[in-house]
Chains A and B, each alone.
Chain A
């Protein structure tokens, strides 16, 4: 559903080429996550990125993939994501049935980095599928073809997980979580976030600082009706609007208060915070 399933059956360099990142993504290292990730890659250990949405997990993986020179196969997980979707399936083409690699298989074949975004969203039985890849066996059984793919050294499995959801159903099972190294992510500290917002949107630092301040204040509301704080991504969006000449208050409303909640009162109080800061 998320990845086109029409990738050619034959493994080839062209197929994987589109997963390669051409341009260096901007990522500002906050702690030592670069080093940890690189070490994990060389030690062939799977990594779990924990943190709220929009704080830079995906961007981090992209940056690392670029740095390590590996293609990056990203799968956004959802509750209908089945094992077939990940591994691959036979499709009817004319009178023939043709095998199509799923994204995970593609990644394993080519020693790419496979990034399963929001892995808790996937069905439990799907998650079990990755277990043999995450221990020292590093294999992927492709049952339908009776194949047992063994992952090359460059292959790396990365999952992301947002512990912010309070629902019991959205919790990662211990048997799964204990297979991963974990890198904790949070919204960057104010200084770093200012830099990120300013750089990503091309606005001046004073404005970026105000936006970050708004972000910080709104994040205080988490748990008071707000499930999640405003993400760095949204702050960047707001900054981009401002950079294109949108009135700052209007930009913040469009990019901050309105997206994160539908509760009118909450929106109003966020608006008041916006007008307090700018």
Chain B
């Protein structure tokens, strides 16, 4: 089936829990259900945004996808290969196909390595290139991300934040991954530099067909760069839709609250928009509310919400929403 070849990531009912065992002093810790049964498919050259507040499980899910965190149940397939339960060698193979870039490029680069050495490292580790071929490949990668081949001899501190993020992207692309997990890749950057990196990510995708899982809370960036949006709340997806449907007709009350919370860079629109401000804060993932986890902050909540957990169900316009009252 051709369709299957196009799928670079497939998550089925993935759950990741922490703790629960007896602690050091014999206390039994609460189980933190960081990710609690999520399904997701990402196709080649597609950008899927993962949106949610800190503590919603975004980072745990990203770590699980690259095999840094084992799920307690469910299946994670990258390019058709199962990550869960894979042995070291197999995992190594799979990991080539998925790479990550992080929020703060200064923290993701070794200050004592030249950026040439940093970008070459994955190629050396995997025995892909050496000598002249290695040098050429590094030069090519630098050019691809808008830097110059002669930059290879410089150190991270000699670059600006935006340039460092370009270096991180070059390193992530060295092994030609099918999927790049971008964890808030532009939120530490200044506004004018942000646009450069977003343009670069779009151009690289068009050229190389790489898929992105784009973790972000900035909805204007999400709207700009993503094909589909997934909203996560306390370990579960509460809404999933393609971009146009999502922004034209957000359905879940949490999604609507997020959208009204993000300030628009337009004073008239911002001050006239209907506000939907959430009360309170995200409950602890160690103590997830019963029924719909959002019912404690939801303005639409009724009795059923605290008792029955709504499933993610498809709607006529193609969106999937987990809410009793949509």
A and B are partners in one complex rather than unrelated chains: no
Taking Cβ atoms with an 8 Å cutoff, the residues of A that contact B are none
Taking Cβ atoms with an 8 Å cutoff, the residues of B that contact A are none
